[in-house]
A and B are shown apart, each in its own frame.
Chain A
Amino acid sequence: MKKILLAIAWAWVTIPLGWGVYQSVQKSMPLFSQPPTPAEASR
């Protein structure tokens, strides 16, 4: 019972945190995939 409570408690906080990290990573992807700026291309 104590182990179940421990698992629930950690899931309670890690699931939303994981969702938040996923959302942010997804949003940041264009930063690495956007075509290079003219200055980058000329290097």
Chain B
Amino acid sequence: MNFLSREATVAEPGFNRWLVPPAAIAVHICIGEVYGFSVFNVPLTQAGAGWTIPQVGWVYSIALVMLGMSAALFGKWVERSGPRKTMVVSCACFCGGLLISALGVKLKSLWMVYLGYGFLGGIGLGLGYISPVSTLIKWFPDRPGMATGMAIMGFGGGALIGAPLGVKLMDHFKTATSVGVAEAFLVMAILYAISMLFGAGLVRVPPDGWSPAAWEPGQHRKPMMTNAQVGVDRAWKTPQFWCLWIVLCMNVSAGIGILGQASKMCSDMFGVSAAVGGGFAGLLSIFNMGGRFFWSSISDLTGRKTVYSIYFLLGAILYCAVPWTQSTQNRTLFVIVTAIIITMYGGGFATIPAYLRDLFGTYQIGAIHGRLITAWSVAAIVGPSLVNYISTAKIDAGVPRAEAYNSTMYLMAGLLIVGLVANLLVRPVDPKYHFTESPKDQNR
């Protein structure tokens, strides 16, 4: 087990820090497959077990709830154990979950799919998601936004790979008696295990006191950045933590409301076919991925507070512009507006670890990030529910289908304004929360 310990992952002299981002991305592109899980929904209902779409939809919901819970509960363990052990455990949970789900499909047991992909896979998602964050921030103290943005970009890109891969595998294994889901899960478990273990083998933590050549702490320091350290048990008692929780929750609720309904929304608003709507959803996924790298890198230059203010202000304006693109039936403008919105949704995810680093230091950044991710789990339920509920209520009330989303867009703009207020309330952490002695004393 020594190979997995934190001590075994300390980098040897001359190690190239640019090997760490691909190690993190190799894990994130696998677990990001959860975003593309919807390609299995219809095939699962055709697996011969009589499952319905709402029943199958719970697999994704359980996985996302478990993602937030496991990240929150195991964050301190992740910090203690180091990135390699965490990545291996994440691999065991996520790929093991896929294998159990494959068996569940074969045995026609929906509970096994819930347990496999939802519960166990969800734990793998949470562990894998936070595993490289603190390591990347320590390797790139000069560019923490860009570094974590790269990894989290991989998570956004996971759907781009997972969705078409799942479809191609199901097509390949489809027979007269099988839709090929179980076999697809099995092959994906093997492929993803190889990639995640590659990342785990590659990852290294920097030696104590390491810093990049020609870089000194304090150089290019922004007003909100601290040299102090705050442990996770104190961090989540600060108002700053809860301001950022609201920031993340509002940003994700608004973005996921569009992303989750993109295909249907495009079809309803512009009268295009379901296939074209599906293409639009895929296009948004590219911008979701690109925005994660672009905006988090920008935040290294502007500071996090500024970049979040841009997300919220520009986002609110663009949400209000969506109904106008529908009323003028300007499809190209609609695509441009929603694409920019989605880049900022992705950017919100990718910039949050660096924001936490600025406020709380690096000591337990992974654990603090883990607790903040509960905002994502809440938003994953709130965002799509709001869009579904309001658009359905409007259609039932006689509003034309094409205009049914207008109120939702204004509501999303309102959520972003709430996020903007929370962001503007963020101030440097009160020194009473900082370490006064050694970090270990604080967490006794």
Alpha-carbon distance A19/B23, docked complex (angstroms): 19
Are A17 and B154 in touch, CB under 8 angstroms? yes
Check B160 against A9 for contact (C-beta < 8 Å): no
Q: Is the Cβ of A40 less than 8 Å from the Cβ of B283?
A: no
Are B280 and A31 in contact, CB atoms less than 8 angstroms apart? yes
State the CA gap A13–B332 with chains docked (Å): 31
Interface range, A side: 20 to 34
Chain B residues bordering chain A, tally (CB within 8 A): 38
Residues of A at the B interface (CB closer than 8 Å) are: 2, 5-6, 9-10, 12-13, 16-17, 19-21, 23-25, 27-32, 34, 37, 39-40, 43
5 contacts between A and B (CB under 8 A): A6-B18, A9-B22, A12-B195, A21-B157, A25-B283
On chain B, the residues within 8 Å of A39 by CB distance are: 271, 329
B279 close to chain A: CB less than 8 A? yes
A6 contact set on B, CB distance < 8 A: 16, 18-19
Residue of B nearest to A13 (CB): B25
Are A27 and B279 in contact (CB-based, < 8 A)?
yes
Q: Among B23, B160, B202, B279, which residue has its beta carbon within 8 angstroms of that of A17?
A: B160
Across the interface, name the chain B residue whose C-beta is closest to A40. B329
Residue of B nearest to A5 (CB): B19
Query: Given A21-B160, A21-B286, does the pair A9, B278 have CB atoms closer than 8 Å?
Result: no
Tell me which of B25, B29, B195, B270 contacts A37 (CB under 8 A): B270
Given A34-B273, A37-B270, 11 other A-B residues pairs in contact with their CB atoms under 8 A? A6-B19, A13-B25, A13-B26, A16-B29, A17-B29, A17-B289, A19-B161, A21-B289, A25-B282, A31-B280, A43-B328
10 A-B pairs closest in CB distance: A20-B160, A24-B282, A28-B279, A9-B22, A28-B283, A39-B329, A20-B161, A23-B164, A13-B25, A27-B279
CA distance A34 to B29 in the complex (A): 32
Of all chain A residues, which has the CB nearest B28? Answer: A13
Which residue on chain A has the smallest CB distance to residue B23? A9
Specify the chain B residue showing the minimal Cβ separation from A34.
B276
Residues from chain B with a CB closer than 8 A to the CB of A30 are 273, 275-276, 279
Say yes or no for B331: interface residue by CB 8 A criterion: yes
B 242-272 binary contact with A (CB < 8 Å = 1; else 0): 0000000000000000000000001000111
Beta-carbon contacts under 8 Å, B274-312 to A: 275-276, 278-280, 282-283, 285-286, 289
Chain B residues within 8 Å of A2, by CB: 14, 16
Query: How many angstroms from the CA of A21 to the CA of B23 in the assembled complex?
Result: 20
In the complex, chain A residues whose CB is within 8 Å of the CB of B329: 37, 39-40, 43
